[in-house]
Amino acid sequence: MIAELQCVVLDCPDPTALAEFYRTVLGGTVNQPDPRWSTDAEWTTLHTPTGQVLAFQRALDHVPPRWQDPTSPQQFHLDLQVPDLHAPREQLLAAGAVLLDEHTGGTSWHVYADPAGHPFCLVRH
């Protein structure tokens, strides 16, 4: 092993708002004290209940990816496991997510965008 994953960092225009969105989705603590970094208006963290850390970094010129547009690719996305794909829909939409693609016909995922435009998938487990 060469390295250990410390966190996943998402660029966005408002780090605190995006951290709060993901706290609504995943649970956890926004800006939990951690000796690995400091938090401020430019850098916000979310420590999830499972121990993973997401970080959110201010990018003033952030341009969100456009779903299924090869000229503005998604670059990466998060897969979030849920027992029921339909149950969290209204809660996600109320928190600011946008439904991008709802696979039907036996597939096991729905694609949303977070408030900064990053795609993420709900995956049925």
- Going from N- to C-terminal start, the domains of the chain cover 8-58, 78-124
> What are 7-48's pLDDT values in tens digits?
999 999 999 999 999 999 999 999 999 988 889 999 999 999
Do 8-58 and 78-124 share a fold? no
Class of domain 78-124: alpha beta
CATH number for the domain formed by residue range(s) 8-58:
3.30.720
Residue-wise pLDDT for 97-125, tens only, equals 999 988 766 668 899 999 999 999 888 87
- For 1, 37, 67, 75, 100, the CA distances from 119, given in Å and listed in that order, are 29, 26, 7, 9, 8
pLDDT of 57 strictly over 70: yes
98, 112 contact by CB (below 8 A) = yes
Q: What is the pLDDT of residue 106?
A: 61
What is the pTM (predicted TM-score) of this model?
Answer: 0.84
